[in-house]
Amino acid sequence: MKLKTRLILANASTVVIPMITTVIIALAVFFIFGKLFGIGFSYEHQQKQSMLKFELISETSTWRRTPEVFDEISYQKYLLEQLQAIHGEILLIKDDDIKFSSRNFSKIEVAKALEVGDIVGKSEHLSIDNTSYSVQKVDIKYKDGSLGVALLLLPVDHENGINSLLILLVVSFILTFAFTNIIVLYQFSRSIINPLHTLQSAAAEIAKGNLDYSIGEEGDEEIQALCRDLELMRIKLKDSVHTQLKYEDNRKLLVSSISHDLKTPVTSIKGYVEGILDGIASNPEKVERYLKTIALKAHQIDQMIDDLLLYAKLDLNQIPFDFERIDIVGYLQSCILEYEPELERNHIGISFSNELNQQQHVLIDRERMRRVIMNIFDNSCKYMMSHGQGEISIFLRDTVSSIIIELRDNGSGIEERDLPHIFDRFYRSDAARYKGSGLGLAIAKQIIEGHNGRVWAVSHGKEGTSIMISLSKS
């Protein structure tokens, strides 16, 4: 239920329910006391009493227009029946003589009735035979010019009953109104206040750093939406903290890996420099060999730093890609020609198999994609350094929407447990890491994903490994 609807229903119920309850109580009182106990303030009784009053008091009443009607037996019978139903009495006086009465009145009773009827405030009552009556007096003028008075006596108990009924109804309305408000407040506590307390507790737990405190959906629609938003906020905050901790761990790993990777070439450079300074390199040929080694180690350090900077820029999306539509077959052949001399020096052969049925184009950055191919070639060479005659095979095939490039080597292979991690930076294992910066495949993955592509590895056991690249067709 919506909160707005609940508020409308709550406000309406605080008025409608007491009114309905009061009406039911009034009807019950009319029925019980009017029917079962014979107390005359039932609805029928009040209706008859009101009709008689109207007939007597109204300016257009029959008594006023034609008082001679009292002479008719049928009207007298009708009037007596009406008076009997409400336990009332009537008295008609003409020229100080009783013209008609519903019972025998003494002269004293007649005098008292006339005296009470003359009182303006009607606060006085007439007591006859232990019964109190209120007196309604109307002056009557006959057609012959004579004057008369009609007195209607109504039991005061009836009026007291009406007053008691009104008091009862007012008290019932007040009590029902109070009870209804208590019920509505209780319902609000369950549907609104309790969920808000739950949200307050959850906010307090989150403020303490307890991001595992889940927030359930309860209450009305608006509060449930608030719970969902806060739960989503908690999840995102938890992910953010987790990512931050992961970045912190990566930073520590980065520092540790850089220190480890730089220590070996720096130690070698330091050793060879000290050898030259100490005179260990006693002839020009040995000095030249030492210097070449120092230059090689310095180049390795420079390459490590370049790889680290490139990965950092790729990770922060600071390097823009210069995409162009190219023929994938010609592009791969140019990459093979460029790297083929390096493979020959390492005694590694290379082959290319084009399984495409027609010419296909892809949208890539030439330089960045070339870095991917070279990094994979370098990684393959590391696997095959002590594995006899090496061989790299490139297979090019397509699917409905993408181009698949497979670069397979016949190296020592990668353990199945290491396959999901070989594209992580600085991942170390005996099979997946030999030497270098440890960022080659990580850089390749970043570049491929920058092309909206996908890269993964397939192990062939001791027969080598395949690196698979998927690129969208252009």
Distance separating alpha carbons of residues 430 and 182, to the nearest angstrom: 74
CA angle in degrees (0–180, nearest 5) for 222-224-228: 115
Of the two residues 396 and 25, the one the predictor is more confident about is 396
Please tell me the total number of residues recorded for the chain in this structure.
474
Closest CA to 343 of 405, 391, 414: 391
Distance separating alpha carbons of residues 172 and 19, to the nearest angstrom: 9
Q: Encode pLDDT of 386-441 as tens digits.
A: 556 788 999 999 998 899 999 998 887 788 888 878 887 666 555 444 455 567 78
Is-contact 437 308, C-beta < 8 A? yes
Helix then strand then coil, in percent of the chain rounded to 5, is 60, 15, 25
- pTM score, whole prediction: 0.46
Range with lowest mean pLDDT among 32-46, 158-172, 329-343: 32-46
Of the two residues 431 and 293, the one the predictor is more confident about is 293
Is-contact 221 3, C-beta < 8 A? yes
Look at residue 157 and tell me whether its pLDDT is greater than 60. no
DSSP states of 280-311 as a string?
-S-SHHHHHHHHHHHHHHHHHHHHHHHHHHHH
In sequence order, the 6+-apart residues with CB closer than 8 A to the CB of 173 are: 18, 19, 21, 22
Mean pLDDT of 109-126: 74
In sequence order, the 6+-apart residues with CB closer than 8 A to the CB of 281 are: 275, 287, 289, 290
Confidence of residue 230 (pLDDT cuts 50, 70, 90): confident
415: left (phi over 0), alpha (psi -120 to 50) or beta: beta
Residue type, 315: D
437's tokens: 């910066």
Q: Encode pLDDT of 367-376 as tens digits.
A: 889 888 988 8
Is-contact 429 418, C-beta < 8 A? yes
Is-contact 133 71, C-beta < 8 A? no
pLDDT, residue 39, reads 47
Q: Which single residue is written with the structure tokens 């092309």?
A: 451
Count of CA atoms in the C-beta half-sphere (13 A) of 92: 18
Closest CA to 176 of 187, 184, 165: 184
Distance separating alpha carbons of residues 408 and 464, to the nearest angstrom: 7
Q: Which single residue is written with the structure tokens 């929407």?
A: 401
Look at residue 385 and tell me whether its pLDDT is greater than 80. no
For the chain, the average pLDDT equals 79
Look at residue 62 and tell me whether its pLDDT is greater than 60. yes
Look at residue 446 and tell me whether its pLDDT is greater than 90. no
Distance separating alpha carbons of residues 82 and 187, to the nearest angstrom: 52
Closest CA to 434 of 261, 306, 298: 261
For the chain, which domains are there? 3-166 (no CATH), 221-315 (1.10.287.130), 324-472 (3.30.565.10)
234's tokens: 């908690």
Range with lowest mean pLDDT among 196-205, 252-261, 272-281: 252-261
DSSP 254: H
Is-contact 369 447, C-beta < 8 A? yes
Is-contact 396 328, C-beta < 8 A? yes
Angle between helices 440-450 and 284-315 (to 10 degrees): 40
pLDDT, residue 130, reads 77
Burial (0-12, 13-18, 19+ Cβ within 10 Å), 374: middle
DSSP states of 197-243 as a string?
HHHHHHHHHHHTT-TT------SSHHHHHHHHHHHHHHHHHHHHHHH
Distance separating alpha carbons of residues 368 and 451, to the nearest angstrom: 10
Range with lowest mean pLDDT among 174-188, 398-412, 460-474: 174-188
Look at residue 134 and tell me whether its pLDDT is greater than 50. yes
Helix, coil or strand: residue 79? helix
* Enclosing H/E stretch for 134: strand 131-141
Other Cβ atoms less than 10 A from the Cβ of 228: the count is 12
pLDDT, residue 25, reads 78
